[in-house]
Structure 1
Amino acid sequence: MGIIVPTFAHWLAASGVNTARGIFMTGTDTGVGKTWVGIQLITCLRALGREVIVRKPVESGWVDDIQQTDAWQLAQAAGQAFDQRICPYHFSAALAPPRAAQLAGESVSLQQLAAACPTHWESHQFLHVEGAGGFYSPIADDGLNADLAQKLGLPVIVVAEDRLGCINHVLLTAAAVQQRGLTLAGVILNARTHRVNGMDNAQDMCQYLDVPIAALPCA
């Protein structure tokens, strides 16, 4: 079944992401560390000689200090100068994007978000697209993160907080990804706090998922 890899670089090789054209980064929930994990991924890919194109098509909870936004941090990791193409739709309310857009008197559609992502890029380049919230979280007026991932057709990475209960969340998300006909490239468990003594979610998941699993240490 699944395999546990000791470092992020090993996970990258085992998952095949380092040779892919791009990925869609999603999570089991909001606040699980997608952006932080994405920065590690981008850093590793650049060390391997890949040029990374980042897109965060929509971000809510947008703040005036742009350096605090997810989109800016991803662009920095990729060595890109931040511009409107990276995150063309952003709203101040820290809510699901369609609700945040509605409060701002605006709207956002799946077609708009998909159009914000390149459709053609060079073989040495890698497209990193980060969603908003969990795989089944609303991301547009007419769809979920799952719908955007399906439109883009990229392999999916699932990020989860490495805590008690995450196995259920990861397996549900993995099943949803596969039901959409998408490739699940791998799972990354992000230890945002110290793990409970005796807990080993990565090891336990291996018997249920046939993908590489990384358990990142507490940042």
Structure 2
Amino acid sequence: MKLFITGIGTEIGKTVCSAILVQYFKADYWKPIQSGDLHYTDSKKIETWTDTPACHPETYRLQLAASPHQSAREENIQINLDDFQLPETQNSLIVEGAGGLMVPLSDHTFMIDLIENLNIPTALVVRNYLGCINHTLLSIMALQQKNIKLEYLILNGNFPEDTERVLCSFIEKETKIIRIPEISPDKENITATAKQLTITKL
């Protein structure tokens, strides 16, 4: 099982959700691009929070906490899709993107192009806020246009019934739903949540 964790925006809990799935599937973890926070990377968080068999090294480690295309330009680096290769492993693999689908990697390529290039299904992390329906439906449409399989819709936190109903009515029947409660990210909570995780279909 290989899965790319993306989201409808930034700061919506992709790393926490990735950690729970790493723990649930007993999976390896790979963050292709780390942009900023090199003192405490998402890979380090996963190592701290989970019992992952392996965290594979990032393809790009960029200093500036900004969009990857801007961070790369600060260091005179050009991010090239051909530089990304899925790590070889016998385990399941959770791959975590940076930001949402249309985060630029260069002036002409985006995170969604990396997902398409890696050719693995996605899990879309959604968090409730004013505008999340619009951002979610646009993200699902973008995946559909690229024929990228949406394996899971991850509802991270609490949602009003009306919001959840619209979100779930827009996905394909094959897409499964994962509901993750609000938690403080640490190893105890990640482990407990992974043990109680339920995956449902429409």
Instruction: Provide the TM-score with structure 2 as the length reference.
Output: 0.79
Candidates 168, 193, 199, aligned match of 1:206 = 168
Q: Which amino acid aligns with 2:15?
A: T
**Shift in Å, 1:93:** 1.1
Partner of 2:193: none
Partner of 2:187: none
Three-state SS of the structure 1 residue aligned to 2:23 is helix
Partner of 1:215: 179
Distance of 2:120 and 2:51 partners within structure 1: 19
1:137-189: CA deviations, max 9, x gaps? Answer: 11346411110100111111101212232111111111111111111112112
Three-state SS of the structure 2 residue aligned to 1:206 is helix
- Equivalenced residue count is 180
Distance of 2:148 and 2:5 partners within structure 1: 13
Distance of 2:66 and 2:15 partners within structure 1: 17
| Structure 1 residue ranges, 4+ long, deviating more than 6 angstroms after superposition | none
Q: Which amino acid aligns with 1:218?
A: E
Q: How does 1:10-159 map to 2 (within 5 A)?
A: 21-46=1-26, 52-64=27-39, 68-76=40-48, 77-80=50-53, 85-112=56-83, 114-115=84-85, 117-118=86-87, 120-122=88-90, 125-140=91-106, 142-159=108-125
Provide the alpha-carbon RMSD of the alignment.
2.1
Report if aligned partners of 1:30, 1:133 keep a CA contact under 8 Å in 2: yes
Distance of 2:162 and 2:115 partners within structure 1: 29
List gaps (5 residues or longer) in structure 2. Answer: 184-202
Q: Which amino acid aligns with 1:204?
A: V
Distance of 2:118 and 2:148 partners within structure 1: 10
Q: Which amino acid aligns with 2:75?
A: A
Instruction: Provide the TM-score with structure 1 as the length reference.
Output: 0.74
**Shift in Å, 1:121:** 3.8
Work out the percentage of aligned pairs sharing the same amino acid.
30
Change (3 A) 1:58 1:180: same
Report if aligned partners of 1:107, 1:141 keep a CA contact under 8 Å in 2: no
Distance of 2:53 and 2:178 partners within structure 1: 27
Q: Which amino acid aligns with 2:129?
A: R
Report if aligned partners of 2:121, 2:149 keep a CA contact under 8 Å in 1: yes
List gaps (5 residues or longer) in structure 1. Answer: 1-20, 47-51
